[in-house]
Chains A and B, each alone.
Chain A
Amino acid sequence: DAGVIQSPRHEVTEMGQEVTLRCKPISGHNSLFWYRQTMMRGLELLIYFNNNVPIDDSGMPEDRFSAKMPNASFSTLKIQPSEPRDSAVYFCASSFKRNSPLHFGNGTRLTVT
């Protein structure tokens, strides 16, 4: 089991640019989560998918953020346009079913200058 795979590991971009973060969940897991971690706010849930369907996107900061899950093995989080305040570590996590423990990827450290 390769675990949750995220790419890229680091992303540095300029304000206004589009950023796309990618995630491959663990095979067989039907729940997928995108989290953001900052020193000030800790871990924040951005969006939750179940069986590829977005169930709760109330944590998505604003319309600049969008997430998709076209199939069970792939998800993206896109920020367009990016702003310096988006700088954070973004985690993808998956779980076998609701209430199962979450398995996290290594995260993407995003820096927007």
Chain B
Amino acid sequence: AQTVTQSQPEMSVQEAETVTLSCTYDTSESNYYLFWYKQPPSRQMILVIRQEAYKQQNATENRFSVNFQKAAKSFSLKISDSQLGDTAMYFCAFMFADSNYQLIWGAGTKLIIKP
């Protein structure tokens, strides 16, 4: 069975620092998608970034970037120049590429940005 593991239940950093959230997953599939979602205190789930497993290039969205290591089954999220608004729960999720819709979710990492 596919699993997604986020080993850091909670992290805190100072504003403007860089922080990396870890995510590992277990699958025997070669083609899949990986996502990071953010859930701020307002509770809406917001897509942060998406990575296709067949792409070697790491996805980037402004201050957010990933380090995708397919062989190691690792998908970490780096937040540069962290801002107070980045305070949220961050969830890593896995989805099969071939006609599947089921997202496998990690337990989440609570990130606190301190002023």
- In B25-39, which residues have CB < 8 Å from any A CB? 33, 35, 37
Interface size class of B (residues with CB under 8 A): 20 to 34
B35–A101 CB distance below 8 A? yes
Total residue contacts A-B, CB cutoff 8 A: 49
A107:B95 contact, CB within 8 angstroms: no
Of the candidates A45, A101, A107, the one whose C-beta lies within 8 Å of that of B102 is A45
Query: Is there contact, CB below 8 Å, between A42 and B108?
Result: yes
Contact A89 B43 (CB under 8 A): yes
Instruction: Give the chain B neighbours of A42 by CB distance below 8 A.
Output: 105, 107-108
Q: Give B residues with C-beta under 8 Å from A.
A: 33, 35, 37, 42-47, 50, 91, 95-97, 99-103, 105, 107-108
Given contacts A99-B96, A101-B47, A104-B37, list 4 more A-B pairs with CB under 8 A.
Answer: A42-B107, A102-B47, A104-B46, A106-B44
